[in-house]
Chains A and B, each alone.
Chain A
Amino acid sequence: MRRVLAIAHNTIREAVRERLVLVLGLFGFALVVGSQALSPLALGEGRKVVIDFGLAGAMLLATLLAVFLGSSLLHKELERRTVYSILAKPIRREEFLLGKFLGLWITTASLLAGMAGILAAVVTVAYGDTPGTLVGAVGLSVMELGIVTAVVVLFSSFTTPALTAFFGISAVVAGHFAEDLRTFASPGAPAGVRALSEGVYWALPHLDVFNARGLVVHGIAVEPERLAFAFAYGALYIGGLMVLAGTVFRRREFR
């Protein structure tokens, strides 16, 4: 575990020192604070607009960070050949990959949590009440980020950064439209297509499971049952992706 954490720590340090996180963090801060400026235009719905924009923007930025940091995650190590001296150390390939995953997840989750914290502060100052229901929604979003990160790590373990970014974004889009996939192939489609779409439907990450932002906007807390379900779902799904990624990465050749 110490080896995994050492790799994770290094990944976080790299992200932070690359300044990308800082830039995104500032951007997020500007977004959250700036949405405050829109509130007079929202005809009394200022609080809703600020939370809407703040949460959606925070999640979007965190997701983008996961995809773009993640897509160059291993490629950069290969290109700069930093990975050779690391993998010649007594560390398993799987441990290295898990460390990379954890580091990236912690980075993006921290960015999200930070922006949510700023959002809560802005709302508290401006409207006098703290949106406590934010906590559950942010927790769910962190789980969603975990899935996105795992998808990106999986693809980065065997394809190029461009393809990884493409597949990462596709997974996010497909994950949010998983429900519609079933609708598209409803009764009229041939049995084969239906079976296929059914299979894809269950295999795709159901990211909508983690989206409770609509509830927060209206001040409804996420029920514990739903949290438990979403966390179980996320943990299993991330586990599956990481096992697959580890299997692929273990077989990888480093020329």
Chain B
Amino acid sequence: MMQEVAPLPMLELTGVSKVYRDPMTLKPFTAVEEITFSLRRGEIFGLLGPNGAGKTTTIKMSLGLTRPTRGTIRIAGREPRDREARKRLGYLPENPCFYDHLTAREYMALVGSLFDIAPGTARRRADDLLARLGLGGDGLKPLRKFSKGMTQRLGLCQALLNDPDLLVLDEPMSGLDPIGRADVKQILREERARGATVLMSSHVLAETEALCDRVAILHRGRVLEMGDVRSLLESDVIEWEVTVDALPGPLAERLRSEGHRLDPAGSRWAIRVEEAGALQAMLRALTNEGIFIRSVDPRRQSLEEHFVRAIQADGRGSGRGNRASGRALRTEGAGTP
């Protein structure tokens, strides 16, 4: 077996906590507690969680905007406060806002100067990016006339100007219409293919499902679960929805008596089954009756539903902390040596 020298993780958080103090009462508030994870090069890592879970705080600490109370953060081995560490980094803030008084091209030129990119190169790259994100015709428009979605797109442009090795995106999908979301997903995949590592946060599980390689689920500042996105979601199927064209009366009665829910869906019927075994039995019964099965769809929990369950599973509020890190470690080695 070959001994491989592991490259430095693009981003590594070790035992990171952030405690804020209320400026008036000095009451401590723990925004992030003992978070540990590291990003492999070339993966898309999702930080998932409801509002207030500590996603943005984690991201801001990773960028050096705020300091962790405990623990260490390294960007390719450097402290986030180190200017060098941020040279190969692109950041899209949550609900971004850029200088109203500038045009898109002027803002991109400003960003280019901050990255020490030669003005000509910066202009060319900016025009390419604006075109790539569908803002090609808006380069000379003042940013105060930009819609929320346009601002979000510009946010991605400015994060990509330096061909970053690490992209940190805080809620990249918010404010975007379905087309915009598809565009962003496409761009993130392209960036991953180019070799970039992506850290993105989201509070909508579904939109990250197809995009992220791994996710960490945050709640109240702690990592509840972490691991490969599919393995997390597959345990989450709560019911299957079977759609059939027609359902003879007696069969419908039988299915109801077996505890399945039947709903008319236009000219069709939707049958909901909660258990995999019951699904198999029912599918057999339907096939035997010669009924045409249009589709079988697994219905998964929303992130919120998932949380309710995760928190209840987390010892009904007692023993906070220990269980969570245990689960995180169970799901996957979190990257601490």
Contacts and interface: CB of A to CB of B under 8 A. Distances in A.
B129 to A, nearest CB: 15
Nearest to B116: A2
Contact of B98 (A18, A82, A87, A254): A82
Interface residues of A, number: 25
Interface string A1-42: 011011001100110011000000000000000000000000
Nearest to B56: A255
A3 B102 contact: no
B66 interface: yes
Which one of A3, A80, A84, A255 has the greatest number of beta carbons of chain B within 10 Å? A84
Contacts of B206: none
A87 B63 CA distance: 9
B87 interface: yes
A197 to B, nearest CB: 33
Given A17-B101, A18-B101, A80-B97, A91 B83 contact: yes
A95 to B, nearest CB: 9
A173 interface: no
A112 to B, nearest CB: 22
Given A84-B93, A253-B66, A255-B20, A90 B99 contact: no
A226 interface: no
Interface residues of B, number: 35
A214 to B, nearest CB: 39
B126 to A, nearest CB: 14
B300 interface: no
Contacts of B20: 255
A10 B114 contact: no
A82 B116 CA distance: 19
B307 to A, nearest CB: 24
Contacts of A218: none
A91 B100 CA distance: 21
B175 interface: no
B116 to A, nearest CB: 7
B97 to A, nearest CB: 5
Contacts of A13: 101-102, 106
Contacts of B146: none
A85 B115 contact: no
A255 B96 CA distance: 14
B84 interface: yes
A87 B93 CA distance: 11
B114 A90 contact: yes
B155 A85 contact: yes
A89 B110 CA distance: 11
A3 B111 CA distance: 9
B83 A88 contact: no
A92 B79 CA distance: 13
A97 to B, nearest CB: 14
A14 B101 contact: yes
A86 interface: yes
Which one of B92, B102, B113 has the greatest number of beta carbons of chain A within 10 Å? B113
B95 interface: yes
Contact of B111 (A18, A89, A254, A255): A89
B123 interface: no
B67 interface: yes
B187 interface: no
Interface in A140-191: none
B91 to A, nearest CB: 4
Nearest to A251: B67
Nearest to B85: A90
B91 A82 contact: no
A154 B42 CA distance: 42
Interface in A35-78: none
Contacts of A90: 83-84, 86-87, 89, 114-116
B89 A253 contact: no
Closest 3 CB pairs of A and B: A6-B113, A88-B91, A89-B114
11 contacts: A3-B114, A6-B113, A14-B99, A82-B98, A84-B93, A85-B92, A85-B96, A88-B86, A90-B86, A90-B114, A91-B114
Interface of A: 2-3, 5-6, 9-10, 13-14, 17-18, 80-82, 84-92, 253-255
